[in-house]
Amino acid sequence: MSSADTVNTSNTACPDVLVLGEPLVEVSTTEPFRDGASVRLAFSGDALNAAAAAAAAGAHTALLARVPDDELGDALVAKVTELGIDAGTVIRVPGQHGVYFTHSDPSGRRQFAYARSGSAGSALRPEDVTGAVEGAGVVLSSGITAAVSESAAATVLHAAERARRFVYDPNYRPRLTSAQEAAATLRRIAPLAELVTPSWPDEAWSLLGLSTEATPHDAVAATRALGASAVALTRGSDGVLVGTATGAVDVPAPPPPRVVDQTGAGDVFAGTVAARLALGDDLLGAVRLGTAAASLSVQGRGGTGFLPTLAQSRAAVEEVRV
Ligand SMILES: O=C(O)C(=O)C[C@H](O)[C@H](O)CO
């Protein structure tokens, strides 16, 4: 860490959940990309979305991230705090913001562009997390974080090796890395993870090397074969297939009341599951709640536009039971 870096570690020694990653500036538009389109400024990024969901699910959640030490960074940190996330492990550094531009419609069609290469947030390094990960109940990170730089990839691995419990969301982004690289990272991390949350069918094809003939059960088996103790294969509105040593269970997704934007639904799932595992729920209970929270989250625009409360997610779980 350079001498310009400042870390406030007050009160964050033992969060229930520690999320590692890069919060992004989100510039979204409700119309296809064009010159003069009206845009909305917000903060997102998979780590921020997941941390916000973990906090909403009742966990003391800390975000370990590098954030530029400018006014936009101040606004980002204010948002972190507003979302109920502990900002004590946010490291303020000189540098540029990571930005993404998005247009999406309710059907899930999405236009997406990044301006994040060389950003301050992508310079996460192993020294940043030393000491922070051991105290956390569950540490959560993703393939996005591992893809943004070599030092960030080393940080994810370092955290996975030291965490008491580690949850990994592969979150493959072809614009950040190749499928081969993302698959290699998954192979390294899976044996260290208590839970891996790949998505069906894209990540089954791109990261697990399965053919289009493969089934969700094949994807769960292939992920477990990499060494993950448990797998939660997310299948959008078809719910989640959970696989452990004792077999596979289908968890249905409650239908969302209305779909505005599906951005971040997978992050809400991962964050909620990490939170509930840290708070002592069993895997199936945590996945049921995560599935419900993800389903409800599509009512808002952007990654943190609608985060259901724990009570709302619990009510949605009960709705699918009856
Ligand atoms: O793609 C990324 O790196 C992001 O984190 C942007 C979005 O928040 C993310 O894709 C939603 O899952």
Residue 249 has pLDDT above 80, yes or no: yes
Q: What is the CATH number of the domain that holds 88?
A: 3.40.1190.20
Q: Answer left, alpha or beta for residue 202, where phi above 0 means left and psi between -120 and 50 means alpha.
A: alpha
Q: What is the CA(279)–ligand 1 centre distance, in A?
A: 26
Beta-bridge partner residues of 168: 141, 196
* 281 domain-assigned: yes
Residue 271 has pLDDT above 70, yes or no: yes
* 4 domain-assigned: no
Which residues' Cβ are closer than 6 Å to ligand 1? Answer: 24, 44-46, 49, 100, 144, 173, 263-264, 266-267, 303
C-alpha–C-alpha distance, residues 224 and 163, integer Å: 19
Look at residue 76 in the predicted model and tell me its pLDDT: 98
> Is 35 in the active site?
no
Confidence class of residue 6 from pLDDT cuts 50, 70 and 90?
very low
Q: What is the CA(264)–ligand 1 centre distance, in A?
A: 7
* 116 domain-assigned: yes
Average pLDDT, the chain: 93
* 6 domain-assigned: no
C-alpha–C-alpha distance, residues 320 and 246, integer Å: 24
Q: Span 56-73, mean pLDDT?
A: 98
State the DSSP H helix or E strand holding residue 157, giving kind and residue range, or none if neither: helix 150-162
Q: Span 11-18, mean pLDDT?
A: 83
- The separation between the first and the last C-alpha atoms of the chain, rounded to the nearest angstrom, is 53
Residue 73 has pLDDT above 90, yes or no: yes
CA distances from 229 to 166, 223, 225 (A): 10, 9, 9
* 243 domain-assigned: yes
Q: What is the CA(114)–ligand 1 centre distance, in A?
A: 10
In terms of residue numbers, what domain contains 176? 17-317
Residue 276 has pLDDT above 90, yes or no: yes
pLDDT digits (tens, 9 = 90+) for 96-145: 999 999 998 767 678 999 999 999 999 999 999 988 899 999 999 999 99
* 28 domain-assigned: yes
Query: Which of 9-13, 227-231, 275-279 bottoms out in mean pLDDT, i.e. has the lowest?
Result: 9-13
**Number of structural domains found in the chain:** 1
Look at residue 322 in the predicted model and tell me its pLDDT: 63
Q: Atom 12 of ligand 1 has which residue's CA nearest to it?
A: 264
| Percent of all residues in the chain with a pLDDT value above 70, rounded to a whole number | 95
Nearest atom within ligand 1 for CA of residue 112: 1
Pinpoint the alpha helices (H) of the chain.
46-56, 71-82, 126-129, 143-148, 150-162, 179-189, 202-206, 216-225, 265-278, 283-297, 310-321
Closest CA to 162 of 125, 195, 126, 198: 126
